[in-house]
Amino acid sequence: MNSPKSNPTDAYSMILDAIDVGTYRPGDRLVESELAERLGMSRTPVREALQRLETQSLLARDGRSLIVASLDHNQLSELYVVRSELEGLAARLAARHATEEEVRVLREMVETDNALVDQPAALARANRRFHKQIHLASHNRYLVQQLDLVYRTMALMTTSSLAVEGRGEIAQAEHDQIVKAIEARDPETADDTLRSHISVAFVTRLKRDAARREEEG
């Protein structure tokens, strides 16, 4: 099994990881020389990494500066549509193709992650590991690649919906249902439960954003 970006050592992965964990947030300026110093690297790999991230629309131009891109409401909605379809497909394929060992890993993840419901940051990371494990259990490399792309863009979402009060516990119960369907080798139910899991997460996020706009407005 792959262990996704546990300890990235190249400039690209390190910067992406820093955006993912919120060290750099949308709108923040990224300066080549500062990054090189911070990462303990020469400027050439950092420059190349920044160019790559810009090509992937994770960074944007603000005058002459390079800033972390942000997702507007439409982009967020479009991303969720794609994510929901692809994750549902992954669950469906996992129910068919996951090995017994992979299913056991998913079950253990749910049990272990239950201890993290009050730690949003740790739970968010555990959540990614859990979903990644389902992607891999689909045994479809093209689907895994497409989902990696979706997750890369998700790094631009400043906070996880799991940070919303009470969401962690419900999300864990949903993970339990997803694994139950995969254990039962029931592709339809696996697909449905994963889609509705993603849908609830999106609704949670929209509500939270609306509440924020009210506070700020």
Q: What is the binding site for Zn ion (CB under 5 A)?
A: 127
User: Least distance to Zn ion from the beta carbon of 178, Å?
Assistant: 8
Position of minimal CB gap to Zn ion: 127
User: Least distance to Zn ion from the beta carbon of 167, Å?
Assistant: 10
Residue (146 or 204) nearer to Zn ion, CB: 204
Residue (49 or 89) nearer to Zn ion, CB: 89
Concatenated DSSP letters of the chain: ---TTSS--SHHHHHHHHHHTTSS-TT-EE-HHHHHHHHT--HHHHHHHHHHHHHTTSEEEETTEEEE----HHHHHHHHHHHHHHHHHHHHHHHHH--HHHHHHHHHHHHHHGGGTT-HHHHHHHHHHHHHHHHHHTT-HHHHHHHHHHHHHHTTSSS-GGGSTTHHHHHHHHHHHHHHHHHTT-HHHHHHHHHHHHHHHHHHHHHHHHHHHHHH-
Residue (133 or 146) nearer to Zn ion, CB: 133
User: Least distance to Zn ion from the beta carbon of 160, Å?
Assistant: 10
Residue (127 or 189) nearer to Zn ion, CB: 127
User: Least distance to Zn ion from the beta carbon of 106, Å?
Assistant: 12
